[in-house]
Structure 1
Amino acid sequence: MDLKQMEEVIVKLLEQQSLVLYSLKVKHEFGEKILEVIVDGNDLSSDHLGVVNQKLSLALDAVGFDPNYYLEVSSPGAERPLRNETEVLSAVGKYVHIESNEINSDGYLLEFKEGILLFQINLKGRLKKIEIPYQSVKSIRLAIKF
């Protein structure tokens, strides 16, 4: 069974669990084959991911996936990178970290429209809004505000 066929099985099961597939890959560590399934959604608790892991294991075994593997189900993390414009758009209103030619800072992503990010930072107690062209962004990720 190839990765594309596995992805179809995994996506269908994740939809039933109100989750989406963030990434899927097979990796080798310490001589073992690991199927890494990273999921995203509203409920990323360890209890829910444990249930998803069990259901995915049974579903993959039922369709004939090689049984000699370890299944790893996890979330992309609290400070996950925003990989494309769709993910950036879904982060509007959230606290993010942006590295670009103009800035390297944490702040709130207020808007993303027509290729321009409206970003608000706190400079010594003053809130400042900055427009950043999306094309100039080197990296953008969710951030945790301390």
Structure 2
Amino acid sequence: MSKKKRIIKKVEEISLPILQQLNFELVDIEFEKQGSNWYLRIFIDKPEGITIDDCQLVSEKIGKCLDDIDPIEQSYFLEVSSPGLDRPLKKDKDLKKHLGDMVEVKTYKPVDGIKNFKGILKDFSDKSVFIETEEGKITEIDRALISTIRLAISF
């Protein structure tokens, strides 16, 4: 396991009990270097949506625990936010929660000559995701070929 993945796993172990106590869902954790700075991003959600006050509360609680335990050697910026309207669907629980919703899928390589799909998430398995396109066609996409799946935003 890479150092980055170990850090994310440790932050998840620290964050989950705090988030459960506060009735928030942990959506994702990222630990990335941008320029010369490292960023630890924690994405949270709850059924009625996330407010700035929610982000501040979680940042203070998790930040204090991270300072006490100090699992990350280098300095970093902690950011807590909502996953946004066009949230990525990274885990099976995300896919299950959004069955029947409109999604956008981007692939690394073309599937039937197409790399960008938009349609209703109909089903998924360990190996595939099934999208119903606007034409009513069900397209099976190998999960190994998927770079991102996001909720589609309609205006």
Q: Does TM, scored on the shorter chain, surpass 0.5?
A: yes
Corresponding residue number in structure 2 for 1:94:
101
Whether the aligned pair in 2 keeps the contact of 1:96 and 1:107 (CA below 8 Å) is yes
Superposition deviation, residue 22 in structure 1: 0.8
Summarize the Cα distance change of 1:32–1:107 in structure 2 as closer, same or farther, 3 Å threshold.
closer
How far apart are the structure 1 equivalents of 2:92 and 2:111?
Answer: 18
Superposition deviation, residue 16 in structure 1: 1.8
Whether the aligned pair in 1 keeps the contact of 2:120 and 2:133 (CA below 8 Å) is yes
How far apart are the structure 1 equivalents of 2:129 and 2:66?
Answer: 42
How far apart are the structure 2 equivalents of 1:112 and 1:22?
Answer: 22
**Long gaps (5+) in structure 1:** 122-127
How far apart are the structure 1 equivalents of 2:129 and 2:38?
Answer: 42
Corresponding residue number in structure 2 for 1:39:
44
Paired residue total: 137
Within-5 A mapping of 1:68-107: 68-99=75-106, 101-102=111-112, 104-107=116-119
TM-score where L is the length of structure 1: 0.70
Summarize the Cα distance change of 1:134–1:101 in structure 2 as closer, same or farther, 3 Å threshold.
closer
**Long gaps (5+) in structure 2:** 1-5
Deviations 1:17-37 (A, max 9, x none): 222141232x44454443222
How far apart are the structure 1 equivalents of 2:131 and 2:76?
Answer: 45
Superposition deviation, residue 84 in structure 1: 4.6
Letter in structure 2 aligned against 1:38: F
Within-5 A mapping of 1:1-146: 3=7, 4-17=9-22, 18-25=24-31, 27-29=32-34, 31-42=36-47, 43-65=49-71, 68-99=75-106, 101-102=111-112, 104-109=116-121, 111-112=122-123, 115=128, 117-121=130-134, 128-135=135-142, 138=146, 139-146=148-155
Which protein shows a greater Rg? 1
Summarize the Cα distance change of 1:98–1:9 in structure 2 as closer, same or farther, 3 Å threshold.
closer
How far apart are the structure 1 equivalents of 2:81 and 2:13?
Answer: 18
Superposition deviation, residue 129 in structure 1: 1.7
Identity of aligned residues (%): 26
Summarize the Cα distance change of 1:54–1:112 in structure 2 as closer, same or farther, 3 Å threshold.
same
Summarize the Cα distance change of 1:108–1:74 in structure 2 as closer, same or farther, 3 Å threshold.
same
How far apart are the structure 2 equivalents of 1:13 and 1:108?
Answer: 34
Superposition deviation, residue 52 in structure 1: 0.8
Question: RMSD of the alignment, in Å?
Answer: 3.1
Summarize the Cα distance change of 1:70–1:108 in structure 2 as closer, same or farther, 3 Å threshold.
same
